[in-house]
Structure 1
Amino acid sequence: MKRTIWPLGLAAGTTLALAPVVQAYGQNSVTLYGVIDAGIGYSNNVAPTLGGVGGHKFQLTSGVGSGSRFGLRGTEDLGGGNAAIFVLENGFSAANGTMLQGGRLFGRQAYVGLSNARLGSVTFGRQYDSVVDFVSPFTSAKQWGTQYGAHVGDADNLYNAFRINNSLKYTSRTWRGFTLGALYGFSGQAAGGSGTGFANDRAWSVGAGYRMGGFSAGAGYLLVNNPSSGNTNGTNLNGAVAGDYIGATNIFYARPVARQAVVAAGAAYQFGQASAGLIYSHSKLDYADRSSFGIHNIEANLSWRLQPALVTGIAAIYSDGFVDGARGIANVATTTHPRWLQINLGTDYSISKRVDLYAAVVWQKAEGGAAAAAIDAVGGPTGAGGRFQIASQFGVRAKF
């Protein structure tokens, strides 16, 4: 079998050249892949900070439909059903060419490991947790609703608000439709006092998935201890979610978090050219001041493949929040019971095997004790006194 190797070198000044060299070498392969996603977005009532003044916003966007990326995926056959595997995946902005995920070279994924045809795989590195692996594919945001369609604040991490560093991950093979998974992200610190130690910014998760015929389902649990310690000037800048938990415009992470737990489940059924899905998640954030915030998200979605190249969908999301240990959360909730309603509309049209056009409109309203709406990735929550937000996006996506 042949494999393609892409050595990096500088040619003629500062031009970066990729020269493929094909070699015959057993059962090995290295694949270069990627997505380039760009478009035009509009949103209203956007404030740069919680409690700020809101306004209309037009922007050239990158990665709203699918995160722009390039990556290398490799496999080497070791014989006897065993293989060595790796993935290195960079996230970048197609709008300005900069690296995302805090400027990391391979901020989306970076792992290496071993797989066995009967036992599954074990991998080491920066990876997705089990909630993302087993539940997020059922959400409308991951299918056709774009990042704007994520649940309010992405507090359930179903749109990858953060990834897990220093992680050891196991994924079973699929047996009779079932797949199991587990992950542990090390804090990288020795046990000790003063808020540091073995559990300071560590994470772990477990999950399972099932698929048979037109029915599929998944469930997962995620726990992160002291995630805010990985923020700038924190007590552990090399922990499981170090550098990923900084979200100045994320309404739930604007305060130091001592513990975050997420439980989520989803299911879908495909009938003919239509597919219906249902997702539930519960997130609990315990803050450093001993107050806490819990939120239940319920999403129902429906999509239709009107033509082989055209799919359209609609989703409704109800988010029910509860504040404990305080009367509210400044600029987020004025009472102990905030609520949010959200509607996602989206469509996708493939103009070739590798290129598609997509459009989406998301409407979100803050109700009850909720002080602000906050559509994911538009650049900020609603301004002071704002009760709803609308975001729309038209984009083009090329895959290679």
Structure 2
Amino acid sequence: MKKIIILGSTGSIGTNALEVVRKSQDKFQVVGISGHRNYKLLIEQIEEFKPKYVSVGTDEGYEKIREKFPEIEVYLKDEGLKELASKDDYDILLTAVSGAIGIEATVEGIKRGKRIALANKETMVAAGPYINRLLKENPKAEIVPVDSEHSAIFQSMLGGAKKEVRKIIITASGGTFRGKTEEELRDVSVEQALKHPNWSMGKKITIDSSTLVNKGLEVIEAHELFGVDYDDIEVLVHPQSIIHSMVEFKDRAVIAQLGAPDMKLPIQYAFTYPCREESLAMEPLDFMKVSTLTFEKPDHKTFKGIQLAFKAGKIGKTMPAVLNAANEVAVELFLKGKIKFLTIYEIIEKAMERHIPLEIDGVELIKTVDRETREWVYSNYER
């Protein structure tokens, strides 16, 4: 029986993770969960899964949960995530929160020698060198990625030795606006941007997918997770989202992981690795319904997210943290209707241009750079 803490249990990844647990209650026990604003759903999850620890993002939710469940330890906001990860009586920490708030919780889990089921790409993007250093200092800890692309790479790399890898190929759906021109994107609405063709995800990650910034963040994350040079990472648009990513080895063999576009598969694998357990939570891939698999190069001229990420990643140090923070605020402002879709790229570019990268010596520097970048974006673009 593996004991699991789920950070972000009310979001898309978190609810899928609970469905995996629901279908395999003899294998997994949820001992802690966290949610941000949706405390009503969090209460429903508490009633069903009976965790010992809960963190919630709002004062109202905190009071409601404390009143309703006096026997449970309840924590509040970002510090609450850190508190949950600081517990000792769990095996796996699923970090399914969005944004840089997941970094400190990941650090606490690593220090305690836990498995991190990583669904928070900002952790490796903003703090990759520091996280990798912590992993070396805490050899009992490990990261098993949950992102469908990085889970696919993780699984495919089991087909050979690290030194035998020639390149990593990250696949992308192309997002909501695949094939659109820059002119066509000038006045797109929030509603249009949120209509992803394949995946059901949260608003932030859906916008990131439509700008291809999401894929750029995945490039940086892949570099940090797998130690592969940026020049050996390629992005291909694969609209069907059946091949989740591939690894090409030096002998020119290409190993890919295929599956239906369903996050429950990589979530369960992160829980059960190195074993593969029977999945009762999702349907098998029906090859008779997969008539065609196609690939194309990303349109870097229109969708600048990937190239901006390559630039930030190659500069390194704190520059990826700036890319991430600027993008988070830009997406927030777009979702609020305060900026245009294409202004997201402008904000990221200008935030990177003004930043002098620094060597990362710990979480505090990352938090400072993150905060200062956000303040700059708000002061210049929030109307």
TM-score (norm 2): 0.26
TM-score (norm 1): 0.25
Between structures 1 and 2, the one with greater strand share: 1
Between structures 1 and 2, the one with greater helix share: 2
Q: Which one has a bigger Cα radius of gyration?
A: 1
